[in-house]
Amino acid sequence: MTPKLKKSLLYWLLLSPLCVVILLPFGVMFVTALRPRDELFVYPPTWTFSEFRWENFVEMWVKTNFGGALLNSLYVSVTSTIIAIVLSIPAAYALSRYRFSGKGLYRNFLLMTQMMSPIVLVLGLFRLMVHLNLVNSLNSLVVTYVAFNMAFTIWMLQSYFNTIPRELEEASWIDGATSFTSLVKIFLPLAVPAMVVTAIFTFINSWNEFVLALTLIRSQNDYTLPVQIFSQVAGRYQVEWHHVMAATVLATVPVAIVFSWLQRYLIRGMALGAVK
Amino acid sequence: MASVTISGVEKWFGTLQILHGIDIDIEDQEFVVLVGPSGCGKSTLLRMIAGLEPISDGEISIGTRVINDVPARDRDIAMVFQNYALYPHMSVYDNIGFSLKLRKRSKQEVSEKISEAAQILDLTPYLERSPRQLSGGQRQRVAMGRALVRDAQVFLFDEPLSNLDAKLRVVMRTEIKALHQRLKTTSVYVTHDQIEAMTMADRIVVMNKGRVEQIGTPMDLYDFPANLFVADFIGSPSMNFIEGVVAADNDGPFVMAKDRTRLAISRDSSAELGQKVVYGARPEHLVLSGGSEGFGATVEVIEPTGPNIQIFADVAGKRICALSAERRTHKPGQKIRLHCPETSVHLFDASSGARI
Amino acid sequence: MKSRTRIPTTPLLMILPSFLLAMSIIGYPILDLAWTSMQEVSRFGKMMGFIGLANFAEVFRDPLFYSSLVRTLIWTVAVVGGTLIMSLPIAIMLNDDFHGRGLARVIVMLPWAISLTMTAVLWRWSLNGRAGLINATLMDFHIITEPIEWLATAPLAFTVEILVGILVSIPFTTTIFLGGLSSLPQDSYEAAVVDGAKPWELFRYITLPLMKPFINIAIVLNVIYVFNSLPIIWVMTEGGPANGTDILVTYLYKLAFRFGQLGKASAISLIMFFVLFVFTIAYVLMVMRQEHDSTAEEVKNDA
């Protein structure tokens, strides 16, 4: 046995309890989503079930207004991601390229806003949205998600921008480009991958947010997915767990796949900027 | 093509002064090298000429035009960067042609200029490649090509060879010099490598701590360094320095080192008796003397380099270096005598460092 | 001719939109909370007038506040401690080269990809006393004979929630450590190995001291993120049974949006804001100290 193989076996042995605990609820999710309703509560509980009931998904979609919640979530996440990126690009560019007084202060300000937990401010935010007459409007979520994500997006973008050599822009100025041309022809094309990655993480953050959505959205038609699924569980005498699990499958699996695919960029981004 | 005039230029970063009143006149068609240790301000000065760094005080003109407030794109200069700064998302062809495209030249003119530049630089087979598919030397050539197609008034080079390996550096430095002889474009070249400066320059500007130490032709600087800094910086291996006091006896004036070693100097020297001085002698001027001439030394280390043998020896408590072309081997600990012809001796005032 | 130093307006204009938005969405509510906390507020959110610190006094008389506070401390110590103890060895393993490392990374990071709400929903169902498959699994392996009602009693429910809290904090913490480990100088290890250090000594004398700044940052950030853990408790037990799993964030949420005690809730929000503020300052100082070291280098190389 090679040393590497030995090490691999040891590491997997050490990691396996954690992996089991992480994966177990996902197993539960799948086997519940696919089992017939009357096999939910059998005694003693068991993993096995009689047939794959794919109709659960269709039933759930219709009964729980899943489509509506999905559209709400998509609207909020896409809009807030676009606005956050559009507002963050100039700020990140300024932080990465200019020397100006107040730069350090602004970075610390961003750091503070990133640390601010929505729950601490949720009451004040709710009252703000009441004043603005935005309660029950998905746009209240868009605005708050943009604000709470901006520190993250600016930071990610800035740390990637820092890796694009300043000399490229200088070379283009000397070649005769205006600042604007240089930005459009040289800088932005090189920054596209960074913007895509940052946008996807911002999207996932908005997609997963719960507390603000629970607070600022009161009418069922405007629920986002996490609140919608939560409302299927909380305060109900009879919970249709096979529907809940089917909905959870649809709400989490695509996001989890994208996230797993991109996580190394997040690690890289953090190594570059946030926590040097 | 044009001259470049730098007068009274200063650079401040906040309260930190980087450049102290720099005056340099660069003539039309001249190849001037700014050389100095890192942090001496040479790159900052170059970037001020390029328009990448604001000028805190003083004036820079190209030809007769003061360019202090002219943005980089309108200065009609071309620049080769240390890391080449090739646009990674463009082909070699587009990299070289970018400036022409921005100036809205016709397609045909652009393509002619690019193929001409590619011809000169041996880049013709690589025009469709992207920069990351090229070797270091090829990237260097593309950066040159980008400058070449511009027909700019002035070429600026910011340590363009420092990322190449030693062998390629020597090749490229000859190529750049040949190119300049052909195009005759006024060039300002920044480097920290004094050999690059010596080999390439029409005139060298030696800088240190934000000041100009000396301006002159390579041989001028080598033969008549204005002060200790230039004497030490130019030449490899460096000049040997021994501190002492000027004295005289029947055989003429000499510098007396700490341990009373007698270092002969020229009778024409204007050094005064009793003056504290630094005696300087280049390694190649120190010859092994057979007789009683010169001064005694103890061999410490021998380093053959091929053409020469470097003899490191102790003189008056200092380790000095002498070059010898003789194949005779010395042993560490051996006593020898070294002699420097009085006309080759450099004398510097010990307190001001200025040449005497 | 002397060219004056221009005040650079361009960068200020570039940061202005993001600054204004952050100020109004994050700054304004803080002021509003400070204002509300000193008002008498009716159930329907109507301001009944200034009452000074009476809301704060009421908070400090409230036994539920103290029990939530104690539970918050337990939660914080247990979750942060547990996370750190788990994450460092995990990060060291994941930083090492072994067969299937890519898969292991994906699995360990998985909880980060899923929203806390969904994770909590999954666990709530998996732990269901009657039909939960956790019980099924444990019974299959004959670890227990009877199904356990995991979430029915407060102490057990709170313990389970802490474990879920640890589980969801591991990916982020591991990421910080991976970033740290990848920045450690390889030659120190080679030098130590040449000097005859054993694996444990390498960890004790090289890894641990060099990782200290990252461990500090992980501690502070995880403490700060405790404030974000509301969904876990809210979804699994809603602070119950009988407020037995309430921590400050859930208690605050109940006061504000279930019992309509806005004045008191504002007071608690403000108290928590100051706690958060202190930890944030600690974090900013830590980051600044690190950056100071690296920018000092930059400036040196710049000139």
Name the band, by pLDDT with cuts 50, 70 and 90, for residue C295: low
Residue C30 lies in a domain: no
Count of domains forming chain C: 1
Residues of B in contact with A171 (CB under 8 A): 79, 81, 85, 87, 146
Name the band, by pLDDT with cuts 50, 70 and 90, for residue C2: very low
Label the pairing between strands B252-257 and C47-50: unpaired
Residues of C in contact with B38 (CB under 8 A): 303
Count of beta carbons in the 10 Å neighbourhood of residue A81: 25
Per-residue pLDDT at C293 = 63
Per-residue pLDDT at C184 = 81
Chain B contact probe: residue of A103, A167, A174, A186 with most B CBs at under 10 A: A174
Residues of A in contact with C97 (CB under 8 A): 4
Residue B300 reports pLDDT greater than 90: yes
Fold of B240-349: OB fold (Dihydrolipoamide Acetyltransferase, E2P) (2.40.50)
Task: Give the E-state strand segments of chain C in sequence order.
Answer: 39-41, 47-50
Lowest-pLDDT choice from A3-17, A30-44, B294-308:
A30-44
Name the band, by pLDDT with cuts 50, 70 and 90, for residue A271: low
Per-residue pLDDT at B46 = 95
Inter-chain residue contact A120 with C272, CB threshold 8 Å:
yes
Query: Which residue type sits at B235?
Result: G
Give chain B's mean pLDDT: 91
Chain A contact probe: residue of B81, B103, B105, B151 with most A CBs at under 10 A: B81
- C-beta of residue B60 within 8 angstroms of C-beta of residue B6: yes
Chain C CA closest to residue B55: C3
Cis peptide before B237 (omega within 30 of 0): yes
Residue A170 near chain B (CB below 8 Å): yes
Alpha-carbon distance values, C6 to A179, B58, B71, B309 (Å): 18, 16, 15, 58
Per-residue pLDDT at A272 = 53
Share of chain C above pLDDT 70, in %: 92
pLDDT digits (tens, 9 = 90+) for C208-245: 888 888 888 888 888 888 888 888 999 998 877 888 88
Per-residue pLDDT at C303 = 38
Q: How many helices (H) and strands (E) does chain C have?
A: 14, 2
Per-residue pLDDT at C10 = 84
ipTM of the complex: 0.85
How far is Cα C36 from Cα C51, in angstroms, rounded to an integer?
10
Query: Which residue type sits at C118?
Result: M
Residues of A in contact with B87 (CB under 8 A): 168, 171-172, 186
**pLDDT, greater one: A32 or A80:** A80
| The two structure tokens encoding residue C185 | 């100088």
Q: Does domain A56-274 have CATH number 3.40.50.300?
A: no
For the segment B205-217, the average pLDDT, to the nearest whole number, is 95
Cis peptide before C241 (omega within 30 of 0): yes
Residue A77 near chain C (CB below 8 Å): no
Chain A CA closest to residue B96: A175
Residue A268 reports pLDDT greater than 70: no
For the segment C136-153, the average pLDDT, to the nearest whole number, is 83
Residue B159 reports pLDDT greater than 80: yes
Residue B142 reports pLDDT greater than 50: yes
Count of beta carbons in the 10 Å neighbourhood of residue A178: 13
Residues of C in contact with A25 (CB under 8 A): 119, 122-123, 126
Per-residue pLDDT at B1 = 66
Question: If one looks up domain B4-233 in CATH, what number appears?
Answer: 3.40.50.300
Residue B96 reports pLDDT greater than 70: yes
Classify residue C116 as exposed, middle or buried by CB count within 10 Å of its CB (0-12, 13-18, 19+).
Answer: buried
- C-beta of residue B190 within 8 angstroms of C-beta of residue B159: yes
Chain C CA closest to residue B14: C5
Name the band, by pLDDT with cuts 50, 70 and 90, for residue A142: very high
Name the band, by pLDDT with cuts 50, 70 and 90, for residue C6: low
**pLDDT, greater one: C4 or B35:** B35
**C151: domain range?**
74-249
Residue C268 lies in a domain: no
| Residue C224, domain CATH | 1.10.3720.10
Residue B259 reports pLDDT greater than 90: no
Residues of A in contact with C291 (CB under 8 A): 276
Residues of A in contact with C116 (CB under 8 A): 208, 210
Residues of A in contact with C224 (CB under 8 A): 115, 117
Nearest-Cα distance to chain B for A84, in Å, is 26
Helix (H) or strand (E) holding C257: helix C248-257
Share of chain A above pLDDT 90, in %: 36
pLDDT digits (tens, 9 = 90+) for B184-205: 999 999 999 999 999 999 999 9
pLDDT digits (tens, 9 = 90+) for A228-256: 999 988 877 788 888 889 999 998 898 88
- C-beta of residue C19 within 8 angstroms of C-beta of residue A109: yes
Name the band, by pLDDT with cuts 50, 70 and 90, for residue C4: very low
How many Å from the N-terminal Cα to the C-terminal Cα in chain B? 39
Nearest-Cα distance to chain B for A202, in Å, is 26
Count of beta carbons in the 10 Å neighbourhood of residue A3: 7
Per-domain boundaries in chain A = 56-274
| The two structure tokens encoding residue C258 | 């279930």
Per-residue pLDDT at A273 = 47
- C-beta of residue A161 within 8 angstroms of C-beta of residue A192: no
For the segment A84-100, the average pLDDT, to the nearest whole number, is 90
Name the band, by pLDDT with cuts 50, 70 and 90, for residue C294: low
Residue A141 reports pLDDT greater than 90: yes
Chain A contact probe: residue of B70, B73, B140, B157 with most A CBs at under 10 A: B73
Lowest-pLDDT choice from A108-117, A181-190, B232-241:
A108-117
Residue A174 near chain B (CB below 8 Å): yes
Residue B117 reports pLDDT greater than 70: yes
Per-residue pLDDT at C226 = 81
**Chains in contact with B via at least 3 Cβ–Cβ pairs below 8 Å:** A, C
Helix (H) or strand (E) holding B245: strand B240-249
Count of beta carbons in the 10 Å neighbourhood of residue C17: 16
Residue A64 reports pLDDT greater than 80: yes
DSSP lists the bridge partners of residue B214 as B206
Chain C contact probe: residue of A11, A26, A232 with most C CBs at under 10 A: A11
Which residue of B18, B59, B68 is in closest CB contact with C303? B18
Per-residue pLDDT at B42 = 94
How far is Cα B234 from Cα B237, in angstroms, rounded to an integer?
9
Chain A CA closest to residue B148: A175
Residue A30 near chain C (CB below 8 Å): no
Per-domain boundaries in chain B = 4-233, 240-349
